[in-house]
Amino acid sequence: MKYLKKFNEELRSQTYKSAARKLKQILKEKPTLGKAIGAEERANKLELYSKDVQEKKDIENWKKEVEEFSKYGEFNIEMSIPGTKSIKPKVYSFYLDIVTEIEQMIDSWDDEDPDNRELTFGFCVGLIPKTIEDREEIKMNFNSEFWNGHTWGLWIYPTYKVLNSEVTFKGLTIYDYDSSPNHQIADRKTAVALKRLLVNIFDPTFDYPSGYKDITNMYDKIEQSAIQGLEISATYGIDMGRIQEDIQKLPIMDFYKQ
């Protein structure tokens, strides 16, 4: 993921966290000096300030993502915590920040048998809450970890299987990003919208961000890095048009989480 924007941005709050850790280290190793300079109180203040700085930055990032991704539609997704009765499942409206995981395919490409392999065009789905109130509620009840305005929610895997050089489309699977919280497509309207968005991603005229710095358009990123870069089209007859057609043929039920 060396080109992925989401993981390359430095957070200013880390500066304050680092200073707080150094003060606590002084208090531990040189308690007399630490007390003299008020290390514990200063460290606590820095940690609180660090959280405040981070929260302001997170809200700024959330606003930017809402502005960038709201034009691609709203998606109703139910969130729940497995094994708990204290927090009831709830449906929220999200915008989606979908990021291609094509780098994983590239990294493992030469380690697999070219005549017997699976080709997975994976996507990681970031969920951007529609409102600031929903964002705060999700942070409190379901998932406190937000990356640049969104929380990671789902994996989507359109997959081809190569067996003895014969290529077949296995279909599409959708999984939770992590073991908790759980996410489920809430209604048919959302399933239809998700299918439409994935089909459009493989359309050369559709302008959707890739999330990467080197190639910023999603279609171009997959086409240049994998389809052409790994010679998938020449070797297996799989091009962007074929992937689009195969996803288009799938039933709507396939766009609910398995």
Residue 238, C-beta contacts closer than 8 angstroms, at least 6 positions apart? 119, 160, 167, 227, 232
- Mean pLDDT over residues 123-131, rounded? 96
C-beta of residue 100 within 8 angstroms of C-beta of residue 221 = yes
pLDDT digit string, tens, across residues 61-90: 899 999 999 999 999 999 999 888 899 999
- Mean pLDDT over residues 114-118, rounded? 95
pLDDT of residue 71: 97
pLDDT digit string, tens, across residues 19-55: 657 756 776 777 776 677 776 777 676 666 666 667 7
pLDDT of residue 50: 65
- Mean pLDDT over residues 112-132, rounded? 95
- Mean pLDDT over residues 203-209, rounded? 97
Q: Which amino acid is at 105?
A: M
Q: Cα(39)–Cα(37) distance, rounded to whole angstroms?
A: 5
- pLDDT at residue 11 is higher than 70: no
- Mean pLDDT over residues 180-202, rounded? 97
pLDDT of residue 219: 97
- Phi then psi dihedrals of residue 254, to 5 deg: -70, -10
- pLDDT at residue 6 is higher than 50: no
Mean pLDDT estimate for the chain: 88
- pLDDT at residue 9 is higher than 60: no
Q: Exposure string (b/e) for 234-246, b if CB count within 10 Å is 16 or more?
A: eebebbbebbbeb
- Mean pLDDT over residues 94-118, rounded? 93
Confidence of residue 7 (pLDDT cuts 50, 70, 90): very low
pLDDT digit string, tens, across residues 209-228: 998 999 999 999 999 999 99
